[in-house]
Structure 1
């Protein structure tokens, strides 16, 4: 009996020792992954402290020793696009990562409009059925809100297929597909989006401390968290069940009561998504980021002028790969449609902040989609157009393919009598009015600051003359300054004029 027990103990100890000594890779390195071409590529993992690790890939062989915390990292030298290859990692055990391609890697991030899946987008049946492309690979980062920086997550790369594309980011997939069709190289897409997320959640806590205006965000949140508990959440859930039952009893009139969530781990609390979703992939070789977010920050539109560029610059600093391309989608039109840009509104201010960010952020760009939104739904089903306009930025700037990529933007204004003559940059061939010959969506104001509907006409390739019989001496003009404006000015290449106001504070 003793001998059998001893034998079992030895076997169990040997098995435990073997597990404790395993060389491991995080989930960002799995079968079917895509590695970024033409850059130095960090590969990292864990092992026993001091364990010797060897990494072999595509003719390269590197050796490293795990540090005192069991962490190790090597850097592969730049490689051209190609594959498939195998990545071998050897220590006291051996790992083989199969079907690895080298190509272009883009992170697809933001809130629900980036998370929005192919299955819920326009032409979903056709898009899904035709998604047979082994040169495109997907990785989805799960939602994990936490104040503790994570170094891994549960996930794995997948090959693009009708099954795998169904729930993947539509904007991300359509963007990546266009790149793959154009470049003919493998494309890796990392879906790291969370519906309803605030920009603050994508930033580490220390980032807020660099700006006096933003620093106040943290104490406010800390007070909310201190007053929150499991008991508070349970009471909120009980109240919700009562309210929902009454809503059902009353015939489901109006919107259903919103179910409460744990604010300690949600997508609004500063640093939550950065720690849980961004930190685990920091350092992975990428070409750039595409971003679709801003709706949640509409209530703090003026603050977004600082929050958004700070978020981008902080993310780049943390990634350690320089000023990689960061391209975002400007907010679409939404809510009730209006004729003129005559009132203050938060969505227009967020769009203004997004446009202004191009002045502060090098290698950044904006896809304007003021023409493809849906008044009744904050989630436009047309995800192909935003993806195409993001792809223009990448194809023109990163891959040197000659094409117009930037929407026309306001440049300057001259007053001639009772008319304002506006000049524009990035007009391509020329400005163009869709559907009707005259520009729509302009408002004009005199010294009293009261905006009224304006008439307008195109003049030359890059000017628009704006006036109103109600304004004798104009001082300011606005275009598309509404949640859902009626606008119709484009470049001849089909890129919409960027909403603007000349009286920007």
Structure 2
């Protein structure tokens, strides 16, 4: 009888467990306040009991969507979205339980990723950032755009691909914008003001990180070019383990010397910089996003790859191809920032980025030679950076007519009577006129010794010469860590640094 009395309780407990298991669950990205990509088939996904029936009611259509969870408990479906508008919708997802997602908007969605200059927030963060962006107090006060929605992915590293992130969608307001990516916000704000549709911005970035951390393990392991990266990871791991062994050995010595009392020990356990290891950020901060249907990506990174800039020529395009393959949305727009002047950088990394902009389809590059800071790797003028990225998107993605989005880009040269004539793209309306002489041009003969050069505007070309080089063969422009060039097109967009030669540089020789 005792056992019979316990049976109903047992059934109740089992019933609760079954109900808990059967409940439909959603990833962090699929939540209140989200923006779904307009005029598209967008993914909704999550978890449920194996083979469970799920009904989805979309606020913009009458007929529900009915699906069945997979045998492993996962589910995903693609639903049609209408034209973007600021009308909010609800979405209900029902199985054994019911989830109602509120205040959903339809518009344009962009992934915003990279290292610290993308992570850099609009406002100050105590202990992390000494300053906010330029005029940050005014920018925060004016950041009242409820149709711009913000999602910040919590920083995390993982050796294995994850299925979810930590974060939530927030409406853009003075309180929510303080800690959000400044470049992403200024980019999104410009799009919103010009496109007149809601904008969803997903910020997934982490300071000090390399491109290989944002690239999948498979891509890195299958390309022999990237073997040095994986070898360096192995060396770093070995060095960390050696430091760890020394730490524990010293700690044991202290324990013995102090009768097991180590409460006053001054020893510090070695800290492993997990975010600098290959593929760990791809696994934790990118892989969980790939189901989310979006329009494109903006990217601000490269500082941490400067010392291996020659390898970045291959790595960066491989990373872009990796992301495009995983999202399975074709060659979606991928717009990025060329590294700003700083004493710790080099011209080779800017060249690698310039090469990517020319060789990888549907990309665009925002040049920042005029908004850098020689002593601060985090320049505070993020407004200009976001604006220039938005110019690219508005022209190339949203087909805004007669909109210049790029500064002069070197195309080819001709040698004429002891001078070199340079030809450029993106100078349809010519160069910006200035009373100053053009700066940062150098010229060389076959001896590969470069001398400061005179440079003059000749129509839509630049003619470069020097009395010290009678038979010139090559020109370099802004080819240094901290250039201060003054070459702009008529639309006031700066020219990218470049060189006409392909001689091995000091960085490349390393």
TM-score by length of 2: 0.89
Aligned to 1:135, what secondary structure does the other structure show?
A: strand
Q: Deviations over 1:94-114 (max 9, x none)?
A: 111110000000011000000
Once superposed, what is the RMSD of the aligned Cα atoms? 2.2
Task: Please state whether the residue corresponding to 1:32 is helix, strand or coil.
Answer: coil
Residue 392 of structure 1 aligns to a residue whose secondary structure is helix
Deviation at 1:14, TM superposition (A): 2.8
Counterparts of 2:70 and 2:4, CA distance in 1? 39
The CA deviation string for residues 146-177 of structure 1, in whole angstroms up to 9 with x for no partner, is: 11110012211001110100000000000000
**Counterpart position of 2:116:** 112
- Could you tell me how far apart the structure 1 residues matched to 2:286 and 2:502 are? 34
Aligned to 1:471: 469
2:318 corresponding residue in structure 1: 310
Indicate whether 1:490 and 2:498 are aligned.
no
> d(CA) in 2 for partners of 1:259 and 1:389?
44
Select between 55-64 and 269-278 the one with higher mean Cα deviation.
55-64
> For each residue in 1:346-374, what CA deviation from the matched residue of structure 2 results, as whole angstroms up to 9, or x when unmatched?
62111001010023211101000111001
Contact 2:243 2:270 in 1 (8 A): no
Match of 2:378 in 1: 379
Alpha-carbon distance, 1:7 to partner: 5.7
Distance 1:470 1:317, change over 3 A: same
Are 1:233 and 1:261, in contact at CA under 8 Å, matched by a contact in 2?
Answer: no
Q: 1:234 to 1:6 in 2, by over 3 A?
A: farther
Query: CA–CA distance in 2 between the matches of 1:111 and 1:46?
Result: 31
How much does 1:220 deviate? 3.7
Superposition TM-score, scaled by structure 1 size:
0.90
Give 1:121 deviation, angstroms. 0.5
Matched, 1:399 2:398: yes
Q: How does 1:273-288 map to 2 (within 5 A)?
A: 273-288=281-296
Q: 1:85 aligns with which of 74, 84, 89?
A: 89
Q: 1:213 aligns with which of 201, 204, 225?
A: 225
Residue equivalent to 1:248: none
Post-superposition offset of 1:62: 1.5
Q: Secondary structure at the match of 2:346?
A: helix
Deviation at 1:20, TM superposition (A): 1.1
- Counterpart residue number, 1:429: 429
Shift of 1:9: 4.3
Instruction: Report the alpha carbon displacement of residue 219 of structure 1 after superposing the two structures with TM.
Output: 3.8
Separation in structure 2 between the aligned mates of residue 226 and residue 457 of structure 1, nearest angstrom: 55
Q: CA deviation at 1:8?
A: 5.0
Partner of 2:451: 452
Q: Where does 1:189-228 land on structure 2 (aligned, <5 Å)?
A: 189-225=201-237, 228=240
Give CA-to-partner distance per residue, 1:73-130, whole Å, 9 cap, x none: 1110242113311111111111111100000000110000000000111110111001
Residues 11-20 or 403-412, more deviating? 11-20
Alignment of 1:46-445 (within 5 A): 46-57=47-58, 58-59=60-61, 60-82=63-85, 83-119=87-123, 120-225=132-237, 228-229=240-241, 232=244, 235=247, 261-263=271-273, 266-335=274-343, 347-402=346-401, 403-434=403-434, 436-445=435-444
Contact kept, 8 Å, 1:283 with 1:321, in 2: the verdict is no
What's the offset of the Cα at 1:5? 6.0
**What corresponds to 2:254 in structure 1?**
none
Give distance in 1, aligned partners of 2:247 and 2:480.
39
CA contact (8 A) 2:244 2:270 kept: no
Specify the SS of the correspondent of 2:352.
helix
Q: Aligned with 2:275: secondary structure?
A: coil
Per-residue Cα deviation, 1:312-350 (whole angstroms, up to 9, x for no partner): 0111101111111000000001129xxxxxxxxx62111
Contact 1:433 / 1:488 at 8 angstroms: preserved in 2? no
Alpha-carbon contact 1:233-1:260 (below 8 Å) kept? no
SS state at 1:490 partner: coil
Contact 2:369-2:484 within 8 A present in 1 as well = no
> 1:362 and 1:9, CA in 2 relative to 1: closer, same or farther beyond 3 A?
same
Size of the aligned set, in residue pairs, is: 474
Task: Pick closer, same or farther for the CA change 1:16–1:76 going to 2, 3 Å.
Answer: same
Asked if the contact 1:41–1:285 (Cα under 8 Å) also holds between the matched residues in 2, the reply is yes
- Take 2:450 and 2:363, find their aligned partners in 1: how far apart are those partners? 32
Gaps (5+ residues) in structure 1? 240-257, 337-345
Distance across 2 between alignment mates of 1:2 and 1:117? 62
